[in-house]
Structure 1
Amino acid sequence: MLHSEIDYTIKATIDQYKQEINKHTNENQKLRDDLDSLQQYGRRDLMIINGIPDGGNMETSEKTIELVTTLIKSIDKALQPGDIIRLYRIGPAPLTINSRENENNVHSTPPRQIIVRLKDPQVKKRILRCKKLLKNRRDMKYVKLNEDLTKTRNNIAYKIRKLKIEHSVKDTWTNDGKIMMKDNQEQIHVVNTQDSFDQFCTNFCIPGVFGFLHRLEMNSKDRRHNKESTKGPKYRTYAQSVSSAASPDQSVTSDD
């Protein structure tokens, strides 16, 4: 009798803790989703450009502006001088030292993305509607124009594109930061959160889709790990070289 009462008390306590944990987990996830929506709203006038050749540390801001302006004007004749507020490349510039080895490394590195802030979201929509014209140009084969998505939404959009390749969904696109996709029954869904994406996969995708997504994520992690492990040695700055030369570990010999 005593053991059964103890078991009942322990079970009731555990169930209570589980309910509290689930409650806090759901609240935390809702806060994350709300924060993601707020961050995406702040990006409503931003656009990301991939594939424009990168001049490395020899490329000036004026040159980047010229490249982007020329590209957009070639597809959007309505572009006005004040439509582009500012733009810049993301990430450190690859070194362009005058040696064949470094030149090959620079050219083998994918060009850095360019983030563009436009005058208002309507300008962004107009430009993105014109991006289909790039498909007809061989010199712009690798240039892509897209909305600037948060890290969470960008990850979801990437997975959906992979599902499209596997014919698990018919089509996908973004609109004002919202991730849209059309299933094989021609029904359109909005999946802006990981929870809504998982729910879609459960209800509309074939069995085994979560195993495919897990392998996809593991392969992505392996590629990032291999990329980091194959990075060459970092170039030392002048200050670091002087500091090393002046350290007590460096011995100076003199002729007797």
Structure 2
Amino acid sequence: MSSSQQLHHFNEEERTTPGWNTEVCPQRNTAIFWHNIWCDYKRPRGGIVYEIMKDTWCKYHYTVRALREDEMRRRSLASKLDNHDDIWREVKHLRPQHRVTPSSMDNPHEKADIAELFAGEFESLYRSTPTDPTELQNLINELKQSSMSMLVPQKFDAAMLSSCLPRMKKENQVIKQKDERISSLEHRVASLESAMDDHEQYLRCNSFRLSGVAELPNEDPPDVGLTTLNTRMKLDPPLVASELNRTHRVGPKAKGGGKHRSLLIKFATYRSRKRVFTQKKQLWSEDQSDARLFLNEDLTKRRSELLWKARKLKKEGRICDAWSSDGKLLLKTMNNVIHPFHSIEEIMLRASPLSEKTCGGGVSIFIRDNLRILEHPELSVCHDSFESIFIELPKGSILNYKKALFIGVVYRPPQYNHDAFNNYLVNILQTIRSAGANCMLMGDFNYDLLSTDSHAPTHDFLESLYC
């Protein structure tokens, strides 16, 4: 419903009333203007915008009532004139003259007598005041409340604020530009951090870490690493010292003979490193008396933390497996689909499969046999509280469509986190758009699309559809 419909309805007779265009219309337009601003601010129940909207609304309706009263007076005067009544009596009734200030009060004429009369009345009024402590305390409380009500901020004049509106819009535009600039810089920083992490990981491509090797006093780390690899892995041909660039322990030495530090082994060539790393399972000796040794890639701090969190989910039974391959982080979901991941959000989207105790649920797409489709498991999620499936109809596969068409079915339960869902949806739609394709999205999102003004997550969901 528009603002003009919410304020008031008038018939044609009222619109032709004298004074309507000069008195009512300006107040009405001002009230509609501030009502629209109040709606744009999502209808707050307090603050300066609400006070201005309420003030202009009251002034508008006061003007309407005053105009109606004047019209009633005019009609009354006209009826008296038609009935040949005393017209001047009616005029005096409509416009009473100002009375002269009386020179006497209840018979006394002198100033002293009037003052004495006033003093007597004041004394009787003073003595009528209660003297009971409880009543006095109640009176004090009422005075305090009335004094606090006087501290309410004064209403601003609508005309003055209307003149400030262009400046407010300009300031909002500047703030919006700065917000966009900050968002662009944050995105750029994230991209640079990701690029630096990729570069650092590339510099570690010839290295790996050997864990579980006992640390001895005054040891020679290169000799320990070379001997351990040749002895436990039985390499053929054996590894020689020229193939190793550098070997040393990682981290500070533990006090009191604690956990043994890992050996960081850097090879001279990637080929030598790969020859050893592909046979890492031979480190697991069948002899129970031998120490258990582990060979892992030398990952950056960021990737090590992500892999540790993914393996923690594996222990909880929320994913099938997680590992690294040439610095790339991979995980396998419970439905045996392998996905790369670069952030904790991507891990959580792939984790938490449907429990075996759960009955029902799931999303599906039925496809005719004569249609050629491409499956996209990387866009599909099988989550305990969020599910989706996506397929692709290649260009020209249906109705000579000139672009590829992605079809997705999504289900979001009512209790699922709004921010996580909107972030997932934005990432999926941006991936599809970067491929130059269109998308048809279906499903049950559990959003009330009629409450976009009052419910911020619903508004964000609609905004994400136009990313």
TM-score, normalisation: structure 2: 0.38
Match of 1:110 among 242, 259, 262: 259
Match of 2:206 among 31, 45, 48: 45
Name the structure 1 match of 2:229.
Answer: 72
How far the C-alpha of 1:69 sits from its partner, in A, is 2.0
Equivalenced residue count is 192
Quick check: 1:202 aligned with 2:202? Answer: no
Contact residue 76 and residue 127 of structure 1 kept, 8 A: no
Deviations 1:148-175 (A, max 9, x none): 0111111111111111112222112211
Q: How does 1:20-169 map to 2 (within 5 A)?
A: 20-55=181-216, 58-61=217-220, 64-73=221-230, 74-78=232-236, 79-81=238-240, 82-94=242-254, 105-106=256-257, 109-137=258-286, 138-169=288-319
How far the C-alpha of 1:3 sits from its partner, in A, is 5.1
SS at match of 1:146: strand
Q: Percent identity?
A: 22
Larger radius of gyration, structure 1 or 2? 2
TM-score, normalisation: structure 1: 0.66
Separation in 1, partners of 2:179, 2:347:
26
How far the C-alpha of 1:141 sits from its partner, in A, is 4.7
SS at match of 1:163: helix
How far the C-alpha of 1:142 sits from its partner, in A, is 3.9
Separation in 1, partners of 2:310, 2:253:
31
Which amino acid in the other structure matches residue 182 of structure 1?
K
Deviations 1:190-233 (A, max 9, x none): 22x33xx423423645459x9xxxxxxxxxxxxxxxxxxxxxxx
How far the C-alpha of 1:132 sits from its partner, in A, is 1.6
How far the C-alpha of 1:83 sits from its partner, in A, is 2.6
Contact residue 134 and residue 141 of structure 1 kept, 8 A: no
Contact residue 134 and residue 140 of structure 1 kept, 8 A: no
Separation in 1, partners of 2:233, 2:334:
32
CA RMSD of aligned residues (A): 2.6
Unaligned runs of 5+ in 2: 1-161, 351-380, 386-414, 418-467
How far the C-alpha of 1:131 sits from its partner, in A, is 1.8
Which amino acid in the other structure matches residue 247 of structure 2?
L
Name the structure 2 match of 1:238.
Answer: none
SS at match of 1:13: helix
Q: Indicate how the Cα distance of structure 1 residues 21 and 206 shifts in structure 2: closer, same or farther if over 3 A, else same.
A: farther
Separation in 1, partners of 2:294, 2:349:
31
More helix by share: 1
Which amino acid in the other structure matches residue 180 of structure 1?
L
Separation in 2, partners of 1:183, 1:3:
58
Separation in 2, partners of 1:23, 1:170:
37
Which amino acid in the other structure matches residue 46 of structure 1?
S
Which amino acid in the other structure matches residue 190 of structure 1?
P
How far the C-alpha of 1:60 sits from its partner, in A, is 2.6
Q: Indicate how the Cα distance of structure 1 residues 178 and 140 shifts in structure 2: closer, same or farther if over 3 A, else same.
A: farther
Contact residue 211 and residue 295 of structure 2 kept, 8 A: yes
Unaligned runs of 5+ in 1: 96-104, 211-256
Separation in 1, partners of 2:281, 2:188:
41
Contact residue 244 and residue 266 of structure 2 kept, 8 A: yes
SS at match of 1:122: helix
Separation in 2, partners of 1:136, 1:10:
71
Quick check: 1:174 aligned with 2:324? Answer: yes
